[in-house]
Amino acid sequence: MRLPVSSDIYWRAITEGCHIGYYRGERGGKWVVRYRKPGGGKGYTKIRIGEADDVRDADGEIVLDWKQAQTKAHEWFDDQARGGVKPAGPFTVAAALDEYTASVKARTGAIPTDMRSRVEEIIKPVLGHHEVANLTQKIIGDWHEARANSPARLRTKRGAEKQNERSVDDKKLCESGAPPPTGT
């Protein structure tokens, strides 16, 4: 069934706030997409993403079949969800933490010292190189396990060459209620 020539757009919801549309003009159809921010912001942002393959064969760039139009629409929806910013490369845990600490500093005027030390000394050295999209429950679980089995960190004098630590066995003794060994 061919749709009649019309300036009306036939919309199909992809997800809430994300729609792909088709309209048929005299010289063939066009694919359009529209996006509304979660929470129902005011109105939609709408663009044309390509021509439909009604008259010419799809090339994946300018002339799109249904599947290609969906792929291009999803890419555009993802860009819109990120505020219209396309990622420059892999988005790592380190980059995510940098953005988060920058947003905390912008909101509060400073980054809390304990947050900075946790990010720089505990999280980034082990997880910083991982791409956020590739994090798995196993990666996070292994990291938690390693943290739980590592020596407890103790207060260390500013500028000290080595971090004071309590051995893992001492840590377990303290958790069991036994007094810590002397000399720590």
Report the distance separating Cα 38 and Cα 136, nearest Å. 26
Give 8-56 pLDDT, tens digit per residue.
Answer: 899 999 988 899 999 988 888 999 999 988 776 678 889 999 999 888 8
More confident residue, 72 or 173: 72
Whether 132 has a pLDDT exceeding 50, the answer reads yes
Per-residue exposure over 53-77, b if at least 16 CB sit within 10 Å of its own CB, e if not: beeeebeeeebbeeebbbebbeebb
Tell me the whole-structure pTM to 2 decimals: 0.48
Where would I find the H helices in the chain?
A: 66-81, 93-108, 113-117, 124-127, 137-148, 168-176
Give 71-93 pLDDT, tens digit per residue.
Answer: 999 998 888 887 776 667 788 99
